[in-house]
Structure 1
Amino acid sequence: MRDSSSLARTIVAPVVLGIVALALWQLVVVLLDVKPFVVPSPAAIGQSFGANLPTVVQGALVTGGNALVGLVLGAVVGIVFAIVAALVKVIDELSAAVIAAIAVVPIVALAPVLYSMFGANVETGRQLVAAIAVFIPMYLNTLRGLRQVRPVHRDLMTAYAASPWQTTRYVTLPGALPFLFTGLRIASSLAVISALIAEYFGGPVGGLGKSITTAASSSNYSLAWAYVLGAILVGLVFYCATLALERLVTRRHRPAT
């Protein structure tokens, strides 16, 4: 009974809300005669999406691939650096200003610089943009989780003569998992957004960002919104994948009752 209620809240309710929102959107566009350059109707967007599905999928694979590389790279570096900062307090204190500086670097300024460094004919710049965007929430959330260990647990590991790594492995990291996965859910969306935005400022021809600008510049607004829909779907796939991973890991680490 509880599982069916949870399923209704997490799946059925958002789907119903989405359908209602789309119906209202379509109704407003038709009744008020809203021009396509303002916002196309959902029916027009859906028609363009279906007619150009192979192109949308191709662009989604490029953007999603860059976002995935950036997500994995940024998450690994962020988690490892957070563990080191938690173990060595000096590194935590010295890196605070650097982390703050990285957090405020705008993508519009970073992407062209990376294209100049690694070349505009490869995807490296876009992947690094996504990795940098992912690094910040992963580092901050993981570090906060690593600091949540109760003193009594640390004292117990000290009494057992555990090394700092053993304390981190068996006590600190399991307690930090909720914070880590919170950061991962945030980072999964940021990876897609960052990879998408980086496509606006150069790099290889391909990806949903380039497709959106091309369609909009040719006044094909329904097609541009179809590519936007493709980007939304990519973001949802990333978010749902990280959510599924979180539930899988937390179930395995849940204590038996």
Structure 2
Amino acid sequence: MRDTQPRVVQMVLAPLVFGTGVILLWQALVTGFAIEAFIMPAPFTIGAEFASNLQNVLNGMSVTGRNALVGLLTGAALGILLAIVSALARVFDQMAVPVVGALSVVPIVALAPVLYTMFGAGAETARQLVAALAVFVPVYFNTLKGLRQVRPVHRDLMRSYAVSSWQATRVVTLPTALPFVFTGLRIASSLAVISALIAEYFGGPVGGLGKSITSAAASSNYGLAWAYVLGSIILGLVFFSAAVGVEKLVNRRPG
């Protein structure tokens, strides 16, 4: 019980106190220096806009979240699968690394309009593919690094039992790589939301937080624009927390 109380203070109470202090300081600075809304709206104004437009914010979060989720699952599955193939086949690894490295520097601002042209401006496919690409790269590299952490003595033991490459991967290599896989997934969970959000700026169907932010800012409703930004932050935290929760669930599973 004594150990639990300091942990609760550290993980819950301290961030709440710090966050409240930052918000109050922000409000005081905006009010005291009469900062214009187009530079920085007051947090109380943002909160009021968020509450009064809650349904619209939730609708935008639903669209962006769905695209980010499809991209996250697709990119993560491909990243893990290709990392396993790279770990098993050195030739494939040598061919894949420069390609994946090139994909990691593809700018979303250039890719999104091209994908809208390919799949149509009325489809969500382009946004999902942009999110999948952003997810694929960190998951691939982190998974591949994890797959290479198996100690030589464990590999020798598997060979002594004459197990196949896939059996050794499933029994020894994948469990060893799990911490690295989840590191990639934690990074990718936030990237999926950010990428889907950015892709919404460059066309596609009406809907999503990105479109809502640009529309509100274009009409000089800066408080509402920041309310949608707040919705984006909440959505990103939900994705990140879900990734952390899945990791803890897997780690608690009895071996």
Question: Which TM-score applies when normalising by structure 1?
Answer: 0.96
- Counting only pairs closer than 5 Å after superposition, residues 75-94 of structure 1 correspond to structure 2 as 75-94=76-95
- Counting only pairs closer than 5 Å after superposition, residues 108-127 of structure 1 correspond to structure 2 as 108-127=109-128
Aligned to 2:103: 102
Distance 1:96 1:4, change over 3 A: same
Aligned to 2:154: 153
Identity level (%): 63
Note the C-alpha offset of 1:95: 1.1
Note the C-alpha offset of 1:18: 1.4
Note the C-alpha offset of 1:81: 0.4
Q: Which moved more, 1:193-202 or 1:88-97?
A: 88-97
Question: 2:118 and 2:50 mapped to 1: Cα distance?
Answer: 35
Question: 2:67 and 2:207 mapped to 1: Cα distance?
Answer: 11
Distance 1:93 1:197, change over 3 A: same
**1:25 lines up with 2:26 in the alignment:** yes
Question: 1:7 and 1:240 mapped to 2: Cα distance?
Answer: 17
- Residue identity matched to 1:248: L
Question: 2:10 and 2:247 mapped to 1: Cα distance?
Answer: 18
Count of aligned pairs:
254
Aligned to 2:194: 193
- Counting only pairs closer than 5 Å after superposition, residues 111-190 of structure 1 correspond to structure 2 as 111-190=112-191
Q: Which moved more, 1:151-160 or 1:194-203?
A: 151-160
Question: 1:186 and 1:244 mapped to 2: Cα distance?
Answer: 14
Question: 2:176 and 2:6 mapped to 1: Cα distance?
Answer: 28
Question: 1:29 and 1:238 mapped to 2: Cα distance?
Answer: 31
Note the C-alpha offset of 1:13: 2.5
Q: Helix, strand or coil: the match of 2:100?
A: helix
- Residue identity matched to 1:204: P
Question: 1:15 and 1:89 mapped to 2: Cα distance?
Answer: 49
Q: Helix, strand or coil: the match of 2:94?
A: helix
Q: Which moved more, 1:3-12 or 1:103-112?
A: 3-12
Note the C-alpha offset of 1:4: 4.2
Aligned to 1:61: 62
Aligned to 2:13: 12
Question: 1:168 and 1:12 mapped to 2: Cα distance?
Answer: 43
Note the C-alpha offset of 1:135: 0.1
Q: Helix, strand or coil: the match of 1:91?
A: helix
Structure 1 gaps, min length 5: none
Question: 2:38 and 2:53 mapped to 1: Cα distance?
Answer: 19
Distance 1:73 1:154, change over 3 A: same
Question: Which TM-score applies when normalising by structure 2?
Answer: 0.97
Question: 1:7 and 1:162 mapped to 2: Cα distance?
Answer: 47
**1:218 lines up with 2:219 in the alignment:** yes
- Residue identity matched to 2:148: R
Question: 2:104 and 2:29 mapped to 1: Cα distance?
Answer: 39
Aligned to 1:44: 45
1:195-232 CA-partner distances (Å, limit 9, x unpaired):
00000000000000000000001100000000000000
Question: 1:135 and 1:101 mapped to 2: Cα distance?
Answer: 12
- Residue identity matched to 2:172: V
Note the C-alpha offset of 1:180: 0.5
Question: 1:149 and 1:164 mapped to 2: Cα distance?
Answer: 13
Q: Which moved more, 1:133-142 or 1:28-37?
A: 28-37
Note the C-alpha offset of 1:17: 1.9
Note the C-alpha offset of 1:10: 2.9
